[in-house]
Amino acid sequence: MTVAEMSLSGKDKTVVKAFWDKVAPKTAEIGGEALGRMLTSYPQTKTYFSHWSDLSPESAQVKKHGATIMGAIGDAIGKIDDLQGALSKLSELHAFKLRVDPANFRILAHNIILVLAMYYPADFTPEVHVSIDKFLQNLALALSEKYR
Amino acid sequence: MVKWSDFERAAIQDIFSKIDYDVVGRAAFSRCLIVYPWTQRYFGSFGNLYNAAAITSNPKVAAHGKVIMAGLEKALKNMDDIKTTYKDLSVLHSEKLQVDPDNFNVKLFSFYCLTIVVAGQMGAAFTPEVQGAFQKFLAVVVASLRKQYY
């Protein structure tokens, strides 16, 4: 089921940018937390990280990589009008080198959303949730662009 | 048959003992209708669902949130045989309500919105391991609801 074709409205972009500015101080932590949760709750995702020694949520490797991912997402928000262009290199990486099944992008997105809701229960309203969900889906679509 | 570890049983019971069913049911169900608006398809008789404000203040939405939580409580009380417990509910959803089974499975009420609302309510107590247990419980619920479809 691909629902990622629902493109971002002007309002979505505004909401996403505003919310990201608010959460900016904690994005690294949120990323580490989200990745840790993904690996714990969806253990099949661990197969992509078999080269790490520690896949627990407390792992330094997990936290660092979560921060990296959130950094890339933040960059993409800066180029939100051309996600495909912004993610071109990362798409090649995921398609040809990492070979991550794109179905997993949704799983990570779910965990990012969950952690955002935990850290910002008042700010992560349903309206913000819709726009962030749409954005992450569009991001995933751009990330899968080079696969085939 | 599903096997639950002691940790999983305890974690799931603990979640349900801590959450306010009315608040969580209503918040999760309205979030589902807002974030995935195509789900409104099944609730034509609910009146005004035109925007987020209307949905969150709609009394039928609140009432239905409670119905859903009551259904989950049934599963909670019969964790070792949710499949049989849910036989009638599965038939209801497939034959009478004709809900697209993809709706249970993919993101909607079950996995995402309810987990998100529970996480928001419980905060740090909703650890990754607790999250895993809760998601496993919901996965079993979903599988049981799908069981009677063709």
Question: What is the Cα Rg of chain A in Å?
Answer: 15
- For residue A133, the chain B residues in CB contact (below 8 A) are 35
Domain count, chain B: 1
DSSP H stretches of helix in chain B:
6-18, 21-35, 52-57, 59-77, 82-85, 87-91, 102-105, 115-122, 128-146
- How do residues A74-115 score in pLDDT, each as one tens digit? 999 999 999 999 999 999 999 999 989 888 998 999 999 999
Separation of alpha carbons A106 and B60, rounded Å: 31
Whether B12 maps to a domain, the answer reads no
The string over A1-30, giving b where at least 16 C-beta atoms fall within 10 Å of a residue's C-beta and e elsewhere, is: eeebeeebeeebbebbeebbeebeeebbbb
- Domain that includes residue B35, residue range: 19-146
Query: Mean pLDDT across the stretch B76-81?
Result: 94
B52: pLDDT strictly greater than 60: yes
Does residue B14 lie within any of the structural domains? no
Hey, what amino acid is at B3? K
SS (H, E, C) chain A: CCCCCCCCCHHHHHHHHHHHHHHHHHHHHHHHHHHHHHHHHCHHHHHHHCCCCCCCCCCHHHHHHHHHHHHHHHHHHHCHHHHHHHCHHHHHHHHHHHCCCCHHHHHHHHHHHHHHHHHCCCCCCHHHHHHHHHHHHHHHHHHCCCCC
Look up the pTM and report it: 0.86
For residue B85, pLDDT beyond 60: yes
Chain A residues touching residue B123 (CB < 8 angstroms): 118, 121
Contact list, A54 vs chain B (CB under 8 Å): none
Q: What's the pLDDT at A3?
A: 45
DSSP tag of B50: S
**The pLDDT of residue A13:** 97
CB A132 within 8 A of CB A16: yes
Q: What is the largest CA-CA distance in chain B?
A: 44
**Contact call for residues B43 and B133 (beta carbons, < 8 A):** no
CB contact under 8 A, A118 and B132: no
Q: Which residue of A has its CA nearest to B126?
A: A118
How do residues A20-51 score in pLDDT, each as one tens digit?
999 999 999 999 999 999 999 888 899 999 89
Average pLDDT for B55-83 = 94
| B132 in A contact zone (CB under 8 Å) | yes
Q: With an 8 Å Cβ cutoff, are B131 and A41 in contact?
A: yes
In angstroms, how far is the first alpha carbon of chain A from the final one?
18
Question: B106: nearest CA in chain A?
Answer: A1
Q: Mind listing the domains of chain A with CATH numbers? A: 10-144 (1.10.490.10)
- Please state, in angstroms and as integers, the Cα–Cα distance from residue B45 to each residue in A47, A121, B42, B49, B109, following that order: 46, 30, 8, 10, 19
Mean of all residue pLDDT scores within chain B? 88
B13 or A42, higher pLDDT: B13
B106 and A124 within 8 Å at the Cβ level: the answer is no
Collapsing DSSP to helix, strand or coil, B19 comes out as coil
In a domain, B80, yes or no: yes
Query: Does B11 reside within a domain?
Result: no
Q: With a cut of 70, say whether residue B105 has pLDDT above it.
A: no
**CATH for B108:** 1.10.490.10
**CB < 8 Å to A57, chain B:** 127-128
Choose from B15, B26, B103, B131 for mutation: most chain A CBs within 10 A.
B131
B94 touches chain A (CB under 8 A): no
